[in-house]
Amino acid sequence: MFDFLKKRRDAEAAYPADGPVLHHADPVPVDTAGARDYGPEITAWMEQAFPGRETTVWHELASPDIHVDVYAMAPIPAEPYWVLYTTGMSSLPMTLENLEHARQYDYLRRAEVMMYLPGSFPLQGLSSDGPEEVYWPIRILKALARMPHLYRTWLGAGHSVPNGNPARPIAGTGFTGVVLFLPDEGNGPRCVMPVPTRDGGQVMLYLAVPVYPEEMDVKLRRGAETLEADLRLQEGGRGFLADPARPNTSPRKEARP
């Protein structure tokens, strides 16, 4: 699942409905010269946003390119959900040169990805060689963090990444891909803003939401904002949790025009 993380196989990124679907066949070498470590600033920001939680870190012992760690902030009684996020994706800027007027969007060049999981998800004590039906959220986040650098592209709000081509179920769930949203008010249980950095810039945060094939079809045909509105209708921000038991917002296949 998200096999390019382990085997560098073909990957595909689907951009917002009014943009192109981009196919990335061959990863490129990642030049890590000039990489910056925003990790301490990101962790401090997340601890401020989600106080009072114990944190577990999946440290990479060996990194093939950029060093990506995944942090898991444990549930608390008042907020019974896990908060996962990466550090390392932002160490290099993403490639925005395929955007028209790219200079206007320089503030998007550095980013990290995050994910919410239900409090019942059995992450406690999980190791990197744990069962795939539990480890898949960490694998997804690592894959997304590397994707812009391996394929000299970028990820942002409204972008989607299917699990293969054709898309396959993720680790036995009904999900077949992820869509990225801004973790602002209405998208999940908390509002989380970009991370301001000491060098005067910022690190964008994108919420990775696993979706069902019918939901991906809604996104591709009617736009990310339509899917976002559908997910917001689920109470308590549940639509934005990586919960294999959450209801499908579009159980019937989108009709083709």
Taking all residues of the chain, what is their mean pLDDT, rounded to a whole number?
87
Q: How confident is the model at residue 91 (pLDDT cuts 50, 70, 90)?
A: very high
pLDDT of 179: 97
What does the pLDDT read at residue 230? Answer: 96
Whether pTM exceeds 0.75: yes
- DSSP character string of 130-184: S-HHHHHHHHHHHHHHHHHHHTT----TT-EEESTTTT--STTSS--EEEEE--S
Q: Report the pLDDT value the prediction gives residue 254, as an integer from 0 to 100.
A: 52
Of 96, 92, 88, nearest in space to 42 by CA: 88
Number of Cβ within a 10 Å radius of residue 28: 10
Domain boundaries, the chain: 4-240
In angstroms, the first-to-last Cα distance of the chain is 31
Say what the pLDDT of residue 104 is.
80
Q: How far apart are CA 175 and CA 210, in angstroms?
A: 6
What would the DSSP string read from start to end of 188-205? SSS----EE-TTS-EEEE
What per-residue confidence (pLDDT) applies to 9? 25
**pLDDT more than 70, % of the chain:** 88
Burial tier of 3 (Cβ tally within 10 Å: 0-12, 13-18, 19+): middle
Residues 182-235: pLDDT tens digits?
998 889 999 999 999 999 999 999 999 999 999 999 999 999 999 999 999 999
| Spatial distance between the Cα atoms of 80 and 62, rounded to a whole number of angstroms | 32
Query: Above 50 in pLDDT, residue 44?
Result: yes
Label residue 226 exposed, middle or buried (CB < 10 Å: 0-12, 13-18, 19+): middle
Residue, of 109 and 21, whose pLDDT is higher: 109
